[in-house]
Amino acid sequence: METLVAVVVVAFLLFTINHSHCFNHHRRSQLQRNSLCAELIQPSGYPCTEHTVETKDGYLLGLQRVSSSHGGGDKNAKPTGPPVLLQHGLFMAGDAWFLNSNEQSLGFILADHGFDVWVGNVRGTHWSHGHTTLSVRDKDFWDWSWQELALYDLAEMINFVYSTTNSKIFFVGHSQGTIMALAAFTQPEIVDMVEAAALLCPISYLGHISSQFVLRLVGMHLDQMLIAMGIHQLNFRSVRIMDSICDDEHMDCSNLLTSITGKNCCFNRSRIDFYFEYEPHPTSSKNLKHLFQMIRKGKFAMYDYGLLGNLKQYGHIQPPTFDVTSISESLPLWMGYGGNDSLADVEDFKHTLDDLKSTPELLYLDSYGHLDFILSMKANEEVYSNIIKFFGSRGSRGMSTSF
């Protein structure tokens, strides 16, 4: 039975990839005309500018800079408050912070509280801009995991914002964005540029993940099958696939999300179709494999290339771990986690806390699932107000902490 399921899933993915060309061509041509600023942020009345960051390995990342809608309508007005970098999770991009109303989306809320908002987009996502030499059709373009996202993408984005603003930055990450952050924060030169960090659904360990859907894929070794079959890009942006799955006759996509992320209490299910206009974004099969390695081994470690590959890559037969205990005690941390989160499990979260030298400020919401922290209609009052007060206690230049 497991073999049959594996064949069906792989066939599904192959169908997605083989039939997504026309849709993706349309999507790419649309995004050539419309940037994230032009498509989602400026229409809501917020000044927004586009920036490009080049990583050390040649990827061109899109960064958006957003300021308050109360700035008199000047599209070129520069924010005066402290910079904050928003880092999205897996299969998402910078649009994730702007998918609800102005009063419910963290990106808009931070801008209206006076922050100089910067929006990160990792390699391979729609709002980033490819590579200096590689095409998205090249196998080598997708030869990365969250390890590179942490040590190249996030490191370069933090450095860019720090250098541009001449100021230490605040950081907010969700899900994979927290994996990237905790790995990056083991590097002292990165921590030196960060004023404080807020982590939503923090992950450094995945040994107790409870999502039965994900655990089944791990048990099927789907990650290894995909790479063995030469599938290096995971891109679910196929009209045929999304339409065939997300309709009343097949499956309500809110139920599909629940089976993966846990029961989300508070996001607006009537906006599911709108969310899927932007999500999901592509990632690499290697990234999926790295995440599955974390689940199988229960370690927060670099990518495992196998015995010989590790010797060549790292000089050791086992991949090095990211030492969470080495994160500076002087870095202020705030962490929000939920009782219904099937991906960032409470037991794994406690493991992270035990490793940290510092004592983060914590917010636990028993009813929240994995997506509620970025899409809940009540997150402004229940989550974001706490983040803004936390940041405000670390520096109040140009921002408001009142609600």
Place 245 in a pLDDT band, splitting at 50, 70 and 90: very low
Indicate the SS3 state at residue 323: coil
Which H helix or E strand runs over 199?
strand 194-200
Which amino acid type is present at position 83? P
Does residue 247 surpass a pLDDT of 70? Answer: no
Mean pLDDT of 31-50: 88
Mean pLDDT of 158-184: 98
Place 69 in a pLDDT band, splitting at 50, 70 and 90: confident
Query: 296-346: per-residue pLDDT in tens?
Result: 999 999 999 999 999 999 999 999 999 999 999 999 999 999 999 999 999
Which H helix or E strand runs over 17?
helix 2-19
> Can you give the pLDDT at residue 401?
62
**Long-range contacts for 14-20 (Cβ within 8 Å, ≥24 apart)?**
14/229, 14/231, 15/238, 15/240, 15/241, 16/235, 16/236, 16/238, 16/241, 17/231, 17/233, 17/235, 19/238, 19/240, 19/241, 20/235, 20/236, 20/237, 20/238, 20/241
Query: 367-401: per-residue pLDDT in tens?
Result: 999 999 999 999 999 999 999 999 999 865 556 66
Does residue 27 surpass a pLDDT of 60? Answer: no
pTM over 0.85? The answer is yes
> Can you give the pLDDT at residue 268?
87
Which H helix or E strand runs over 162?
helix 155-165
Place 80 in a pLDDT band, splitting at 50, 70 and 90: confident
Helices (H), 185-319: 188-191, 212-219, 222-228, 239-245, 253-261, 272-278, 285-297, 307-314
DSSP track, 366-377: TT--TTHHHHBT
Q: CA distances (Å), 221 to each of 218, 293, 294, in order?
A: 5, 10, 13
Largest CA distance in the chain: 62
Secondary structure percentages of the chain, helix, strand, coil, to 5: 45, 15, 40
Q: For residues 328 and 133, what is the distance between their CA atoms, to the nearest angstrom?
A: 37
Share of the chain above pLDDT 90, in %: 76
Give the sign of the dihedral formed by CA 213, CA 88, CA 19, CA 231. Answer: negative
Q: CA distances (Å), 392 to each of 78, 110, 282, in order?
A: 20, 11, 35
> Can you give the pLDDT at residue 19?
42
Catalytic machinery residues: 175, 341, 370
> Can you give the pLDDT at residue 10?
45
Which CATH class name applies to 36-393?
alpha beta
Indicate the SS3 state at residue 236: coil
Q: For residues 180 and 148, what is the distance between their CA atoms, to the nearest angstrom?
A: 9
Does residue 250 surpass a pLDDT of 90? Answer: no
Does residue 16 surpass a pLDDT of 50? Answer: no
Place 269 in a pLDDT band, splitting at 50, 70 and 90: confident
Query: 191-241: per-residue pLDDT in tens?
Result: 999 999 999 999 999 999 999 889 999 999 999 999 999 999 998 765 444
Query: 84-143: per-residue pLDDT in tens?
Result: 999 999 999 999 999 999 999 999 999 999 999 999 999 999 999 999 999 999 999 999
Mean pLDDT of 251-265: 76
| Rounded to 5°, angle at Cα 205 from 203 and 211 | 80
Delimit the domains of the chain by residue range: 36-393
What would the two tokens of residue 316 be? 């050791």
**Exposure b/e, 35-62, CB count within 10 A at least 16 = b:** bbbebbbbeeebbbbebebebebebebb
Which amino acid type is present at position 228? A
- 105 with 6: CB under 8 angstroms? no
Does residue 359 surpass a pLDDT of 50? Answer: yes
Mean pLDDT of 256-263: 84
Mean pLDDT of 43-60: 97
Mean pLDDT of 140-151: 98
